[in-house]
Amino acid sequence: SCILDETNICSSDSFGTLKVPPRSNSTNILSSLETLPLDGYFSFENNHHAARDFGNMYHFLPSVVLHPKSVLDISTTIRHIFQMGSASELTVAARGRAHSLQGQAQAHQGIVISMESLQALEMQVHTGEMPYVEVSGGELWINILHETLKHGLAPKSWTDYLHLTVGGTLSNAGISGQAFRHGPQIDNIYQLEVVTGKGEVVTCSEKQNNDLFHAVLGGLGQFGIITRARISLELAPKMVKWIRVLYSEFSIFSKDQEHLISSENTFDYIEGFVIINRTGLLNNWVSSFSPKDPLQAREFKSDGRTLYCLEMVKYFNPDETKTMNQITENLLSKLSYIPSTLFHSEVSYARFLDRVHVSEKKLQAKGLWEVPHPWLNLLIPKSRISDFAKEVFGNIVTETSNGPILIYPVNQSKWNNKTSLVTPDEDVFYLVAFLSSAVPYSTGTDGLEHILTKNKRILNFCATAQLGMKQYLPHYNTREEWQTHFGSLWEVFLQRKSAYDPWAILAPGQRIFQKAT
């Protein structure tokens, strides 16, 4: 299942991992690691798991996996590699939950750091006027949710799925239905502790070492390893009202979405998705959302049309139910959805936030979770979203979608433009996520090759029509493509790389820089 072969001399073993003859001096360098004083340990064998990720398309076997027990373990290891300079070809990849798609958390013959082993820091919740929680970079968001809820608090901005690490999402952005108001997760961080590519341990924030702070947030792991994060919190609601309505016209759907995100008095979470056919409708419904009237949802006839589902959530506490219902009704009365398609449900806040895990368990039980995931995530400027929808939902993705397609707008003005994250140059832009699963070994429309070809058609259209699209969770193969992705930020990105990781040791799986030798 290896579709990337960097060396042309690799072969695949039964795990699909790459086997390349070791380089001449690499044995000495690897044994030098054994002399390092660590609280945790290195593992030199049985590391096949570190050559896998959620995408399940790229498999690069590392030489070593570090299981750190302290921040010092990480800094000692990186400092050692840094001091060897060009004598060593070893690179280092932090591995959170490895929910990357194209090998971004892997290090070909290098060192993978298992971030979940980093138990140096217990979660600490600080209450008060500006509450925050202090966590390890390897902590899972689901654990943060449960810990902060004990204090009646929670982070403000989420991802749709919470079994991801803090370091992993902060290296990208962390975008979900709260991002139109609070910005992505990277904009809700007070402070970080980072181990740079020189092995230095640096505390950074808006006020202290702010260049490194901004570099690391959305920095694709290029400038340092996040070992600790201070995440801002808000009062957590106990319940949510979860609403879905359907549209058959994209223009009306997107107009309503844009209207909703333009106001402060609106829902607390706003997303949407495209329903290509009836199977899509039913799958999306039964997987996690259980409306009070499930029969009604199942019986809705789409007549083969592509439908657009607007998904909204209002937070509330049980003693505010009446007011919440009034506010919700008022907001809904301004929308132009198909009148018979209002579905709603009331669930706990924690149940809502952990909704994708419900689907994960079902897919895992059927053996459908660990299949290839050729996902494509795009950010499209508002001014071109109708052109995008017309071509993509009208001509390219018409019969089946191989998985959910999310689509929702966010406000650039709520996002911090100093981080490394690249977004379209417009006030409002849409996240469009094609979350495809491929059926292993299929050569049909549900197979990997077919889906990758479709993704390419979408990317080609965006380029030809000059939509001003930016990839989220970006993946490119050449330096030129990366340069185009970063645009005017490329020079800053380069400067920061040479300041914080001059030998290009970190996150080689992003394939932006090559280790200097």
Q: For binding to ligand FAD (CB under 6 A), which residues are involved? A: 54, 93-100, 104-105, 115, 137, 159-161, 164-165, 167-169, 171-176, 220-221, 225-226, 356, 473, 507, 509-510
Query: In sequence order, what E strands does 282-384 have?
Result: 307-316, 343-348, 376-381
160 included as an active-site residue? yes
Query: In sequence order, what E strands does 32-178 have?
Result: 41-43, 64-67, 92-95, 111-114, 124-126, 132-136, 153-155
As given in the structure block, the two tokens for residue 501 are 């990781």
How near is the Cβ of 222 to ligand FAD at its closest, in Å?
Answer: 8
As given in the structure block, the two tokens for residue 479 are 């330096």
Would you call 283 exposed, middle or buried from its count of C-beta atoms within 10 A (0-12, 13-18, 19+)? middle
As given in the structure block, the two tokens for residue 362 are 């079902």
Please identify, using beta-carbon distances, which residue of 98 and 407 lies nearer to ligand FAD. Answer: 98
Strands 111-114 and 92-95: parallel
Query: Which residue has its beta carbon closest to ligand FAD?
Result: 167
How near is the Cβ of 369 to ligand FAD at its closest, in Å?
Answer: 9
How near is the Cβ of 31 to ligand FAD at its closest, in Å?
Answer: 25
How near is the Cβ of 132 to ligand FAD at its closest, in Å?
Answer: 18
How near is the Cβ of 116 to ligand FAD at its closest, in Å?
Answer: 9
Q: Which amino acid type is present at position 463? A: A
67 included as an active-site residue? no
Q: Which residues contact 243 (CB under 8 A, 6 or more apart)?
A: 267, 311, 312, 313, 314, 328, 332, 342, 343, 344, 345
271 included as an active-site residue? yes
Catalytic entry in 53, 271, 354, 391: 271
Cα separation values, 424 from 211, 213, 476, Å: 22, 22, 17
Please identify, using beta-carbon distances, which residue of 71 and 125 lies nearer to ligand FAD. Answer: 71
Please identify, using beta-carbon distances, which residue of 16 and 294 lies nearer to ligand FAD. Answer: 16
Catalytic entry in 126, 146, 151, 160: 160
- Helix pair 278-287, 355-365: axis angle to 10 deg: 110
How near is the Cβ of 383 to ligand FAD at its closest, in Å?
Answer: 23
What single DSSP character describes residue 438? Answer: P
Catalytic entry in 67, 80, 99, 450: 99
Q: Catalytic amino acids?
A: 99, 160, 271
